[in-house]
Structure 1
Amino acid sequence: MNGADHLCDVLLAHGVDVCFANPGTSEMHFVAALDRRPQMRCILGLSEGVVTGAADGYGRMAGKPAATLLHTGPGLANGLANLHNARRARTPIVNVVGDHAAYHLHFDAPLTSDIESFARPVSHWLRRASGPDDVGPTARAACEAAVALPGVATVILPADAAWSAASTPPVEPHPPLGPVAADPGAIRAVAEAVRRAPGRVGMLLGGRAGHGEALAAAGRIARRHGIRLFGEVLIGRMERGRGHPPVTRIPYPIDLALAALADLDVLVLVDAPPPVAFFAYPGKPSRLTPGTCALLTLARPGEDAASALQGLADILGTGPAAGDGPAPAEAGTPGGALSEDAVAVILAQAMPEQAVICDEALTSARRFYALTQGAAPHDYLMNTGGAIGIGIPLACGAAVACPGRKTIALQADGSGLYTLQGLWTQAREALDVVTIVFANRAYAILQGEMRAVGVTRFGRNAERMLTLDEPALDWVALARGFGVEAARASTCEAFRDVLGAALKRPGPFLIEAVL
């Protein structure tokens, strides 16, 4: 048994049985150890951004970590953007980064780098294995930290720690750790605030509060006591659709966000930080709640949001209630030239039960969230950290975690190009993903930001930095080149037909929606 064997055994003992990987020379002993353990599913990503984004999607939907395997500091650096997003989503991930043998570092070989400095900003927990006997304890601590926080736990694995014999004892199966209990005093304080400010209380649901028993309890409390439920500007995971309580997403545009929260006296934070503006704008506040609004924390990240919400319901005398009735569906059948709203309406009417929606459509799907409250029950995931290029990989990981459910990726064309290689992973693993590319051939979100700072006319330099034409992208050809079937639609009728066919067949399919 070498250090790499112990790392594999610790991962498996903690229920980590999926590894998204892009390995290099320093990790070959770990690859060999993985090869000796067929119970570990190993999935190759053609870029590190695919690896880390897929681990994020898997962790959000599976509720447990996947492992990643990255090659030294530069490989980690290639995956940093989606680890940043995972950190913001508080997704459990065991992030394994290989390094040179310890005795080789002082020679300053070409791939030598300061891995700790790369990893620290995107990691909730970080540790370098000091030798083969330390690999097992380091891996065990990483698995526990990833689940308890939850978040990104990074293990740096020197090559000689992986290949050298380890004398640590065999690894026993380890029961999963549960979240810690929330502060009873905080629960009582929230109950008193709800009683004092009827009708002017909001509740912001983040992290684990957006699904399962926590969301159900929040819905019962909201109905009984007139509390408004909010989701973060960028939602990590939210159960939505018929039978789930309506949760208003705080808008991205700052003026709309300020208006949405303007009349609150109290905002209760449940596994969520205080809401802030995405960017600073001259003359506008950074905090989105009014200065008179009290911010009260019911459950912090890592605490048991479901139990805290149930405890609040008990104090307030909130009994069981019937499920939410269906919200009205969007009326009418769009026709003619395809538009952003038409795509959203058609998909809201057609999506199957228990679909997983991975939304990185940015400006192109802003109305989709509102249009789908009355749609079939589904999970909704977003780019939580604002670093673009997560949509395709996020869908990969979600599909691995939920093999019996259809995953639908809403993808802006500009950000989709960052991790286009994820389509190959979808094809190789036969993942059940329908990717809808909103082909407006522009960085439309940046055009909007230019207008927000007062620039209403774009010159040639700005135009060429904010458009994606000359030449126009051919998403059908790109998808087919990676082994994914694809079709193009420019009318509502064509899109409806192609979408219907794609939803009925298994495996990956891409639709280029030309806007």
Structure 2
Amino acid sequence: MNGADRLCDTLLGNGIDVCFANPGTSEMHFVAALDRRPQMRCVLGLFEGVVTAAADGYARMADRPAATLLHTGPGLANGLANLHNARRARTPMVNVVGDHAAYHLAYDAPLTSDIDSLARPMSHWLRRCTGPDDVGPAAEAAIVAARTHPGIATLILPADSAWGEVAAADIAPVAVPAPRPVPDARIAAAAEAIRRAGPRAGLLLGNMALRAGALETAGRIAAATGAKLFSPVQISRLEAGRGRVPVTKIPYAIDLALKCLAEVDVLVLVGAPEPVAFFAYPGKPSRLLPDGAPALPMAEPGDALGDALAALADRLGARTPLQVPTPAPLEGVPEGDLTDAALSHSIAMLLPERAVVVDEGLTTARSVFELFKRAPPHDYLMLTGGAIGMGPGAAAGAALASPGRKVVALQADGSGMYTLQGLWTQAREKLDVVTIIFSNRSYAILQREMRNVGVNQFGENARRMMQLDDPALDWVALANGMGVEGAAVETAEGFHAVLDYALGREGPFLIEAVMA
């Protein structure tokens, strides 16, 4: 029994039985320990950004952490962008980062780096094992931290802590504190603010407040008071579709966001931060709420959000469910060019019941979110931190956490190239993922941002930094090279037919939707 064995046993004894990995030499004792425990599912990612995105997607759907295995500082650094996204989503995750043996650090070998400093900005909790006997306690503390905040716990495992002997011991599950109760004073303040503002009040719901049960409670509050229900610009997980209480998603574009919140006199925050502009723009505000309109924090991620909403509803006498009209299912096959409207219509119309949508579509199919309200019940996940490249990996992780459910990944072409290797993991694990590539052959979001800062004329240098058409990416060939079947379509009716086929089969499939 060595430190690596103890780490594996501690993870398994606490329900962490999936490890997304890209290991190196320093982690070989941990790999050997994993090999002795077939009950741990080990999933290889060909790039660490896929590993961290997959752990994010997995935990969002499983409501419990997975582990990652990353190789020293550079391996961790390769995964930091998607750790940033996971941190913003408040995703529970236990990162195991290997390091040189403690006595070897003094020699400054080529892979030596300051792992602690690299990990700290993207971690809610960080600890370095001090020896083999510290591995068990450190792993337990990491699990508690990941599940309590919830958030990113990073455990640095020096090689000699992994290979050093430890005494055999029984593993008992750690005690994880229940979600924090929200103080009565906060609930009373929120109730009073909503009473005063009436229909000009809003609730901004995030994290666990976007699950179906909590949404029903929020719907009772809306029915009783006229308060509006909002979600953040970027959603960690929303239970949506016909029969569920709908929310208004605050738009990404600043002018649309300002218009969306223009009639709000007070915004009560339930598991979400105050909405602000994604970037600073000349002559435009950073706050999205009208001048003088307060954002009133009632509950934070990690609080008992459902209980807090129930207590708020009780104070407001909100007992009648919100009458949500049942929208008619979408019908008809779009024809002609592949436009945003045509793509959104087909995706929402054909979406299977209980599907999981992973949305990194960015500038394309923006209208699909509203149309999803007419789709069967489903879960909706999206990019949360703005660091592009989470889609292929997050879709793989969500599929692993949701056996028997179809995963539909809405993927912009530029950001998809950041973590293209995620398709290989989908193929290797035989995951039921349909990836839709919105192939506009550009960084279209950057073109919009250039205009937002006042630049409307693009010269050759700017054009070449934003176009992906010379040469054009061949997504079907790229997918085939990763072991994923695919097809390219150029018409709305062609897309509808291929999507219908892909959703009716099992296993990974990619559709390149070549935009008009």
Counterparts of 1:27-426 in structure 2, within 5 Å, are 27-167=27-167, 169-174=169-174, 176-319=176-319, 321=321, 324-329=324-329, 333-426=333-426
SS at match of 1:486: strand
Q: Does 1:505 align with 2:502?
A: no
Any conservation in 2 of the 1:136–1:168 contact (CA below 8 Å)? no
Any conservation in 1 of the 2:140–2:174 contact (CA below 8 Å)? no
- 2-structure distance, mates of 1:338, 1:30: 49
AA at the equivalent of 1:511? I
How many residue pairs match? The answer is 515
Q: 1:258 to 1:322 in 2, by over 3 A?
A: closer
Shift of 1:176: 4.9
Shift of 1:95: 0.8
- 1-structure distance, mates of 2:88, 2:337: 37
AA at the equivalent of 1:339? T
Q: Does 1:439 align with 2:406?
A: no
- 2-structure distance, mates of 1:212, 1:35: 39
Question: 1:487-506: CA deviations, max 9, x gaps?
Answer: 11111111111111110111
Q: Does 1:7 align with 2:7?
A: yes
AA at the equivalent of 1:65? P
SS at match of 1:373: helix
Any conservation in 2 of the 1:85–1:386 contact (CA below 8 Å)? yes
Question: 1:375-413: CA deviations, max 9, x gaps?
Answer: 111111111010010011110111011011100000000
- 1-structure distance, mates of 2:46, 2:359: 22
Any conservation in 1 of the 2:148–2:176 contact (CA below 8 Å)? no
- 2-structure distance, mates of 1:315, 1:11: 42
Any conservation in 2 of the 1:2–1:163 contact (CA below 8 Å)? yes
- 1-structure distance, mates of 2:3, 2:46: 26
- 2-structure distance, mates of 1:213, 1:12: 30
Question: 1:318-358: CA deviations, max 9, x gaps?
Answer: 22526633235556542012112211111111100011110
Greater mean alpha carbon deviation, residues 54-63 or residues 316-325: 316-325
Any conservation in 1 of the 2:216–2:321 contact (CA below 8 Å)? no
Q: Does 1:483 align with 2:474?
A: no
AA at the equivalent of 1:44? L
Any conservation in 2 of the 1:133–1:168 contact (CA below 8 Å)? no
AA at the equivalent of 2:340? E
Shift of 1:294: 2.0
- 2-structure distance, mates of 1:353, 1:228: 27
Q: TM-score, normalised by structure 1?
A: 0.98
- 2-structure distance, mates of 1:100, 1:182: 43
Q: TM-score, normalised by structure 2?
A: 0.98
Greater mean alpha carbon deviation, residues 294-303 or residues 305-314: 294-303
Q: 1:101 to 1:228 in 2, by over 3 A?
A: same
Any conservation in 2 of the 1:244–1:323 contact (CA below 8 Å)? no
Q: Does 1:16 align with 2:32?
A: no
Greater mean alpha carbon deviation, residues 213-222 or residues 43-52: 213-222
Question: 1:51-109: CA deviations, max 9, x gaps?
Answer: 00000001111111000000000000000000000001110000110000000000000
SS at match of 2:56: helix
AA at the equivalent of 1:383? L
Q: Which runs of 5+ in 1 are unaligned?
A: none
Any conservation in 1 of the 2:16–2:67 contact (CA below 8 Å)? yes
Question: 1:249-303: CA deviations, max 9, x gaps?
Answer: 1011111111111111110101111111000011111111122212212211211
Instruction: State the percentage of identical aligned residues.
Output: 64
SS at match of 1:364: coil
SS at match of 2:353: coil
CA RMSD of aligned residues (A): 1.3
- 1-structure distance, mates of 2:17, 2:123: 21
- 1-structure distance, mates of 2:215, 2:143: 26
- 2-structure distance, mates of 1:212, 1:374: 16
Question: 1:403-445: CA deviations, max 9, x gaps?
Answer: 1110000000000000000000000101000000000000000
Any conservation in 2 of the 1:358–1:381 contact (CA below 8 Å)? yes
AA at the equivalent of 1:393? G
Any conservation in 1 of the 2:144–2:175 contact (CA below 8 Å)? no
